[in-house]
Amino acid sequence: MSDKQTTHFGYKEVEKDAKAGLVAGVFHSVAARYDLMNDLMSGGIHRIWKRFTIELSGVRRGNSVLDIAGGTGDLAARFSRIVGPDGRVVLADINDSMLKVGRDKLIDGGNLGNIEYVQADAQYLPFPDDSFDCVTIAFGLRNVTDKDLALRAMLRVLKPGGRLLVLEFSKPRSELLGKAYDAYSFNVLPKMGQLVAGDSESYQYLAESIRVHPDQDTLKQMMEDAGFSRVEYHNMTGGIVALHRGVKA
């Protein structure tokens, strides 16, 4: 839809300029209960997905890592321990409510002091070229208005040989699993959101946003078109989630 002035906000068609504000409203609403809802929605499996992302990142002591749409800091906390005091982790999120929740959580958890907090738009990253050994974005790309622009920005800030990891909901491999997943997403999630977070509409949007996100092969092609090499993806939980990995040549 890059040649049009509209884009998806869930199943709705909205002006491109309006999407960021609408997404911000969703995450302002859910920030305080975000971690609890993640555990409830996934049965805690999101922790395994994130652990696999860390393992595939190849991050080592002394590395510099950018976690985009880092939210409440799950990945940043783990990267902080891996890179150590000589390393650097930047937790970036466009949403100040999510960033505050993440900062408070990590400070309370006694992080090593090697984490920086930056409010930033994934499409216009405020970092110099060739800054990071690894860039991650977990469950954030589907909320970005111009994904192609964001992928090019991520490539720019990576050092040569640096890795991008995109962890995102994707397309289930089995039709039966897909039907069960749809029933859960559209019947259970909004009700759970209403009960736990007092907000069913935001979780309705999150379910819809997953369905309009590019599938595994489409996202792989988008990463290659943006300039990444050696792009591959790994399906998890039957393809409900996929982890894409690309390298800056």
By three-state DSSP, how is residue 237 classified?
helix
By three-state DSSP, how is residue 249 classified?
coil
26, 94 in Cβ contact below 8 A? no
How big is the CA angle at 193 (ends 191 and 196), to the nearest 5 degrees?
A: 105
Annotated binding site for S-adenosyl-L-methionine: 72, 93, 121-122
Residue 187 is classified by DSSP as: I
Annotated binding site: 72, 93, 121-122
Paired tokens of 158: 């990576």
83, 62 in Cβ contact below 8 A? yes
Paired tokens of 183: 């029933």
CA distance 79 to 99: 17
